Structure 1
Amino acid sequence: MAIIKHLLLPLLMICCLLEFEVARAASDLPRHTPSVPEQTLSLPALQPSAG
């Protein structure tokens, strides 16, 4: 239980915040760049750590 509380919960919060920021940035794209019809948001793939 301590592992979930101290490691996974902060990681989950960080992932949720990052997803929120990416979604907000993606929704802002059409307003700021109307001349680019198909602009995709590319993120580097997350690689699992060995730790």
Structure 2
Amino acid sequence: MFSDSVTWFEIRGNTIIQADADGKIEADFTLVLVGTSLGLSAADFVL
């Protein structure tokens, strides 16, 4: 996790998306998407 960033990773058949929007270098929210290889890119997210 980096300050003011969105990160994602795949684990056990799910894609986990985490975002830090307040600069405290911890996830402010986490989304779990069912499936992997979803073709996500940085352009898919706006903070």
Shared topology, TM-score over 0.5? Answer: no
More strand by share: 2
- TM-score with structure 1 length normalisation? 0.23
Which structure's CA Rg is the greater one? 1
More helix by share: 1
- TM-score with structure 2 length normalisation? 0.23
